[in-house]
Amino acid sequence: MNDYLKYWVPVLMLASAFAGLMAGGDWVWAGVATFPLLAVLDSLLPRDYSVRHMRSAALANIPIWISAVGPVLLYGVLAWRVSATPLTPSQSAGAVLSMAWMGVVPLIPAAHELYHMRDRISRTVGRYAHICIFDCTRDIGHVVGHHIDVATENDADTAPRGQNLYAFTANSLIETTRYAFSKEAGALRKNGLSAWNLRHRAYRALLALVIFHAILFLIGGWQGVLYGLAAQLISRCWVECFNYFQHYGLVRLPGAPIGRRHVWNHLGWLSRTSTFEITNHADHHQNSYQAYYLLQPHRQSIEMPSVFVCFLTALIPPIWHHLVIMPALKRWDLEYATAEERVLAAAQNRRAGWPDWLNEPATASEHSATVGI
């Protein structure tokens, strides 16, 4: 039972946001206050390499469903709060940021788990829960694109070496949307339909947004709509930021087998539990239908800091590049990459203006060994 209880951490986070918005005043900061708390605690706690012992899918999925549906309902509470009593500028910021953070964690990991399930109801709920980040077509690019193109230049979720968080986020906002729309249009053409046919999921996504904001208007008027829209857009940017850390700088030949080495794992206790193992996803890229609690920690992976710490350091690119990711990528190139991947890595290092560690005399002898993972 202990393993089941671990995954109620994101439910507690969601409950804090609900309670804060219901209480009003400065309590509206309660939701987003869980972010720095997670960052500190996850850095202090030891790495978690334990395998979960959970046999009941029904029990394991209860917090998933709460964490996917809860943030959608929380937007109604936000709309009510901003219309019920005036908020100061600081309180307005707290309310919007708390709502936005709930759209990142726990919603994204929970929705991600749902749309990777095999039944239609779970996939549909996971897909439309993404209304919280203004993107109900996100699963298209993730399933059809990311899981095929990961660690290649074709993957918008894999940041090339040298790219900072801000450039990546701006590019990803455009490319993930463009890719999803393009893939959906291509699927329609294969069925003999126009790319503009009403079956295109973009129309349903737009309709969902209209209905969603109409409900916010009924609850909180135009204030409810504007606050909701602000939270959605911030949440969407925040989500793209967290994608930055999962694959940064990793390389793979297009079409080559995807190995566990082609993702970064963040195996902190809270990184794993608060995100339903989305930071422990090497196995996920081997079998995307594998339930979160069955994923095995990759003990041979290069240890990365807490995903929350990665976010904070990436806000200052020189710190992220020189203290966090360059040392990790140097080791990856020398110990994990194939000969073909080292060629790609060297090219990216040159474009980024990084040191040519693959040709350093001290490491030349290391180039002959490749870890087959």
pLDDT of residue 365: 44
Cα-flanking dihedrals φ and ψ of residue 47, to 5°?
Answer: -55, 145
pLDDT of residue 318: 97
- Which of 12-26, 121-135, 294-308 comes out lowest in average pLDDT? 294-308
Query: What digits encode the pLDDT tens for the residues 217-228?
Result: 999 999 999 999
pTM, two decimal places: 0.93
Q: Residue 65 to residues 157, 208, 321: CA-CA distances in angstroms? A: 25, 19, 37
As a whole number of angstroms, the distance between CA 238 and CA 291 comes to: 25
Q: List the domain boundaries for the chain.
A: 2-301
pLDDT of residue 285: 86
What is the C-alpha end-to-end distance of the chain, expressed in Å?
Answer: 32
* HSE-CB for 333 with a 13 A CA cutoff: 25
The rounded mean pLDDT for the chain is: 93
Above pLDDT 90, what percent of the chain?
84
Residue 268 three-state SS:
strand
Residue keyed to tokens 């993107």: 135
pLDDT, mean of residues 36-43? 94
Question: pLDDT at residue 1 above 70?
Answer: no
pLDDT of residue 371: 52
pLDDT of residue 368: 45
Banded pLDDT at 364 (limits 50, 70, 90)? very low
Query: What digits encode the pLDDT tens for the residues 67-100?
Result: 999 999 999 999 999 999 999 999 999 999 999 9
Query: What digits encode the pLDDT tens for the residues 149-201?
Result: 999 999 999 999 999 999 999 999 999 899 899 989 999 999 999 999 999 99
Spell out the residues 6+ positions from residue 1 whose beta carbon is closer than 8 angstroms to its own.
none
pLDDT of residue 372: 53
List, in sequence order, every residue forming a beta bridge with 170; answer none if it has no partner.
Answer: none
